[in-house]
Each structure stands twice: as structure tokens, then as C-alpha cells.
Amino acid sequence: MRFLAISVILAIFVSCNRETNPFDLESGKWIDLTHTFSDQTIYWPTSDPFLLDTVSEGVTPAGYYYSAFSFCTAEHGGTHMDAPVHFAAGKQAMDEVPIDRLIGKAIVIDVSDKAIPNPDYQISLEDFQNWETSNGPLPPDVIVLIHTGFGRYWPDPIRYMGTDEKGHEAVAKLHFPGLHPEAAQWLVDERKIKAIGLDTPSIDYGQSKLFESHQILFADNIPAFENVANLDQVPARGSWVFALPMKIDGGSGGPLRIVAWVTDDV
């Protein structure tokens, strides 16, 4: 009886149209939006690099192959998620962000024509309004992704973030696009989004001193995805995003595996 019930449920699910069942695996494709973690991974100048240490690798005395490794990483580096508590006291930590905030319909705003010539570009309210003029209002409970074009520079730290220097002094030399605080405030006040992400090291642009967009978004428990890959492959609308970070107790951020599902008819 249990097998029959499951079969009926699956049959109903598969028979649904694409509007209610966007995961017809014969009519779309998965896009990996995650940079691989390695010794080439880009981190904030004040963070240590990613470290993979070999615990065991090779043929054991018993004759079978076995490998195991340990890794060390800062919370905020590579493709990762910022939890709201990163810049907002008392807001959600990594283990507290609800799953339904991390999975949902997504839109992509392409500002690469403005950001590539100007590494200090800040994505403006006008950019969002222009997107809505062409595509309609932002859907409620959507995941917003911003394509600045800087993903093409990964993993070159000089082109991607403005410097390959390390230490606190290097922070002043960072140059990459980010979200203008006015646009962040508009998203909080006028729209309802689940999360936001972009293909640069930070939601705030490189020269930010106060990280105002972080503060505004995180005070409303809106998490952020940073160093997102392959946004040039995701359409302006019609995709779904699955962003599942490491579930760290009390963490302010952590490594993220993020993927997009894009149907053939978008």
C-alpha cells in the first residue's frame, strides 16, 4: 500500500505542467554557480587561504585504495553565504536561516556593461527599475542575482578584487562592484525578496567603509551569496536557485554550494 501511494504521488507530480512542476529533467539544465575551493580560491585580504591537508592517500596494507583529507577555511571566502548576523546583531546565524529562503525562483540583473568599465560601480535603484521596465515587477519571494561580469576574472585577485596584497592595509586597495545602499533600502522597503547574490567578493562595493548594504539587508534577515559563478549563463528570469551552505552553529558565514535550474523555454 505504501509503494502504491508513493507511485500515485509521483505520477501526479510528473503529470503537472511546467508552471507547477519546473523540474522536468528532460526540458532544462543545471548550472553550477559555485567556484571550486582550492589553493586558488580568493579570500578577503585579512583572511588565510583555503588549506587542504592530506590525512591519508594511497593503497592500504590491506590492498584497497583509501583517501581522506582535512580542510581549513575562513567563513567568508570563495563562493559563500553571509548570514544576517554577520552585520546585524541578534539576526539569523548560518544554522538559523530557513531553508525556504535559500531555494526559490530567481531573477538576474545584468549590469556588466556598466561594471566592467568601472570597477567601483554600485548597482543602483535605476538598474532595478530598468529591469522591471523590461521584465515586470520583481516577483514576491524571489532570489535576486546580480551579474557584474567580474566572474570572468576568477581566480585572478588583481583583476577580480583590485589587489593581491594581504593584510589590513590591502583593504583600502579593493576595487569591485557592489550594491548601492539606496537600492538595498528599496529592496527592503518596496519589494519582498528571499536572498541576494552577486559575482564579486562582497555585496558592498570594494571601496565601502561602512558596509551599509550589508547592514540594511541583514537587519531584515536577508542573506547574501558572494563570489557566485557563471551568472552569464542564467537568464533574466525563469530560473530556480538552490543555495545550500554549510550549516555552522552560530556561524556568520560559510562555504556555499549554489546551483540554478534553467528550463528550455525561458
Confidence at residue 264, expressed as pLDDT on a 0 to 100 scale? 73
User: What pTM does this model have?
Assistant: 0.90
Confidence at residue 27, expressed as pLDDT on a 0 to 100 scale? 82
Q: CATH code for 22-35+76-263?
A: 3.50.30.50
Confidence at residue 18, expressed as pLDDT on a 0 to 100 scale? 47
Confidence at residue 25, expressed as pLDDT on a 0 to 100 scale? 65
| pLDDT tens-place string over residues 59-94 | 999 999 999 999 999 999 999 999 999 999 999 999
For the chain (266 residues), the mean pLDDT of every run of 10, in chain order, is 44 46 74 98 98 98 98 98 98 98 98 98 98 97 98 98 98 98 98 98 98 98 98 97 98 98 81
Domain definitions of the chain by residue range: 22-35+76-263
Confidence at residue 243, expressed as pLDDT on a 0 to 100 scale? 98
Using CB atoms within 10 Å of the CB of residue 113, give its burial: 0 to 12 exposed, 13 to 18 middle, 19+ buried: exposed
